[in-house]
Amino acid sequence: MRLLFIHSDHLEFEAREQAGPDDLAETEGVPMDGRMEDCVTAFVSVESDDEADLDGVVANASDELRDVTGQLNTNRVVLYPYAHLSEDLATPDAAKTVMRDLEAALEDDGYEVLRAPFGWYKAFEVSCKGHPLSELSRHVSAHRDDGNGDGEEGGEPDRDPSEWLVLHPDGSTEDAVAAKPNVSEDMRAFVEDEVEDVTASPGEEPPHVELMQEKSLAGYDDLSDVGNLRWYPRGKLVRDLLMTYVSDLVVEYGGMPVETPIMYDLGARPVDEHAGKFGERQYRFESGDRRMMLRFAACFGQFSIMRDMHVSESDLPLRIYEMSTYSFRREQKGEVTGLKRLRSFTMPDMHTATTDMDGARAELLRQAKLSLRTSDDLGLDYQPAVRLTREFYEDNREWVAELVAELDKPALLEVIPERHHYWSAKIDFAAVDGLGRPIENPTVQIDVESAERFDITYTDADGSHHPPILHYSPSGGIERVVAALLEETTTMETPRLPVWLSPTQVRFVPVGEEHVEYCDELVDDLAAADVRADVDERSETVGKRIARAETDWVPYYAVVGDREVDGGRLDVNVRATDEEVEMTPQEFRERVRSETDGLPSEKRYLPKHVSDHPSFTGR
């Protein structure tokens, strides 16, 4: 379905002449003329693809209208059938059904609706309000994202069900549901969500949604689109560190960083076909006479680079990498959730061209193991899911068993009857949140279509070939990593982030004003060693300032008075173990550095003195 929304001072129409046979034009249940003031006029084209699931397209179009009218603060809608938005129209009967059902759905939600009749030539007059949001276009289908973070098609026509197994590192397999008593609690939660379609704690908000605001990491902006977050200094520091960490990891592995555009021309056949492999959760817009879209990953740009390169066999495997700082997926408004489901997100994305399927399998195994390294560095317990077609599984059983043995933990195995994605095999890794719901993050996929679609080739002695291409994100979306980290804290007796990711790693609490200068010297000394430290010199009691350090999840803090200044030793509170350890400033510095060795560092994003820290959230 194609939709054009006009925020209107008024819309007025009059049906003049039937546009076809008598059975085409609506004559009952709709007015032949009408006018509505201060409304959203929705010009609607129902397309042939919509006929596969009329109820689904009505539901999603209703969501779009609720989203737009919510932004424009109106509940008055004109539904106006308008065939000129598409060249691939549905049958008249299907179009009329959609228009009637859409009207009923909006009226059930309390909207005032004026629907123009289908099948008539109509005279109409519309007055557009002329502000930045007064003209919006949308492309809606029945598809919904499956929530796995890769954006693949969700609400498709029914297919034969997958076979679900749990594959153990020793090579044995069990029915996934029957295996629940023999796996970890997190894997049981993964099985229940994926296989049994059981949503843990339905209706409850994941704990990280409150935490991201309570800890002044990220928040919502009512001047933007839902699902586009703003990041405060503490959260931006965490996000920047994660981005640096992933980029360093991939470059060390052999990925070559590039930067590519964020928008693409849907008039280009490869772009349109690849976009069609994903659910209709895309920001699409008109630019002059071109239909454009904002990217949901770095595929298009990296494929374009590979297409234009001269690649020989000796160049393979060829790894192109981008930290896709701006990627977009237009999730349904009601599905947007904190940091887990966003409309704008940061996606580390590497594509690897290999000589053949043997090379692709070997590369997938290496990249999957690299993903588990991120779980160790982040302190997250990832649960693997291996998804492959029946044909691929039958041809590669030994390799699949080797893959799970190398991961050294049970994996959920989904065997799909036939290939309906661009990939034939992939592995996803999920953390489980505080409510028992999976947050899928790292992914590796073997793509068997895109090289041909984008005309990517390499040459060897026998000629030119299309290589298999792997899609890889070693961490998944950065925002989802932050969500998983926050969810992990809800299972801890003393919640905390890894020391290297903590916005403030060390805090000093001077007993009196006369001790502030010494604390400042300690902070400067630690800063020279790439340790983020600050001083809480506010005119509060020592107890209240210690409580603030606890609230801020500071990994190490020390109260500094005469004894510490004169004696040159500190009693340091260690958050991870809830103990107090005496050490010299030099020993203290080395202890913190030993915990962060080999991991990225950033300077403080907030001032040295806590009294200078502004309140970004009013909390």
Residue ranges of the chain that CATH labels 3.50.80.10: 2-139
- CA 567 to CA 555: how far, in whole Å? 23
Strands 284-287 and 290-294: antiparallel
Looking at domain 163-263+296-489, its CATH architecture is 2-Layer Sandwich (3.30)
Please identify every stretch of the chain with a pLDDT value under 50, giving residue numbers as ranges.
144-157
Prediction pTM value: 0.78
pLDDT tens digits for 497-536? Answer: 999 999 999 999 999 999 999 999 999 999 999 999 999 9
Alpha helices per DSSP H over 142-232: 185-194, 207-214
Q: How does DSSP classify residue 162?
A: P
Q: Is 258 helix (H, G, I), strand (E, B) or coil?
A: coil
The single residue listed with the structure tokens 């276009």 is 137
Pairing verdict, β 76-81 and 120-128:
unpaired
Q: What's the pLDDT tens digit per position in 404-438? A: 999 999 999 999 999 988 999 999 999 999 999 99
Question: ω into residue 317 within 30 of 0, thus cis?
Answer: yes
Question: Checking phi first, is residue 114 left (phi over 0); if not, alpha (psi -120 to 50) or beta?
Answer: beta
Q: Give residues with Cβ within 8 angstroms of 445, minimum separation 6.
A: 150, 422, 423, 425, 426, 470, 471, 472
- What are the tokens at 167? 């594959």
- DSSP string of 444-491, one letter each residue: EEEESSHHHHTT--EEETTEEEPPPEEEEESS--HHHHHHHHHHHHTT
Helix (H, G, I), strand (E, B) or coil at 80: strand
Q: What SS3 state is found at 49? A: helix
**Over pLDDT 90: what percentage of the chain?**
79
As annotated, the residues of the chain forming the CATH 3.30.930.10 domain(s) are 163-263+296-489
Q: What's the CA gap between 556 and 548, in Å, rounded?
A: 12
Helix/strand/coil percentages in the chain, nearest 5: 35, 30, 35
Pull the structure tokens for residue 562: 């005469």
Q: Residue with structure tokens 């916005």?
A: 503
Give the tens place of pLDDT for each residue, 64-94. 899 889 888 899 999 999 988 887 788 899 9
Instruction: Spell out the CATH class of 2-139.
Output: alpha beta
- Give the chain's radius of gyration (CA, Å): 28
Q: Are 427 and 480 in contact (CB under 8 A)?
A: no
Class of residue 121 by CB neighbours under 10 A (exposed 0-12, middle 13-18, buried 19+): exposed
Angle at 208 between CA 205 and CA 212, to 5 degrees: 125
Rounded CA-CA distance 428/412 in Å is: 10
Helix axes 207-214, 478-489, angle to 10 degrees: 100
CA separation for the pair 248, 448 (Å, rounded): 28
Residue type, 470: L
> How many Cα neighbours within 13 Å face the side chain of 290?
10
Distance in angstroms (rounded) separating the CA atoms of residues 353 and 46: 39
**Beta partners for 133?**
none
d(Cα 430, Cα 433) in Å, to the nearest integer?
9
Four-residue CA torsion sign, 120, 121, 122, 126: positive
Q: What stretch of H or E contains 519?
A: helix 516-528
At 5, the amino acid letter reads F
Structure tokens at 493: 């007796």
Q: Is the separation of the CB atoms in 44 and 79 below 8 Å?
A: yes
CA 30 to chain CA centroid, Å, is 42
Is the CB of residue 157 less than 8 Å from the CB of residue 50? no
| Cα-based distances in Å from 259 to 239, 345, 416 | 19, 16, 34
The CATH superfamily of 499-612 is Anticodon-binding domain (3.40.50.800)
Q: Write down the pLDDT at residue 159.
A: 67
Coil vs helix vs strand at 512: coil
For residue 279, the model assigns a pLDDT of 57
DSSP-derived secondary structure for 556-605 = EEEEE-HHHHHH--EEEEETTTTEEEEE-HHHHHHHHHHHHTTS-----S
| Residue ranges, CATH 3.40.50.800, the chain | 499-612
What are the E-state strand segments in 289-362? 290-294, 318-328, 344-353
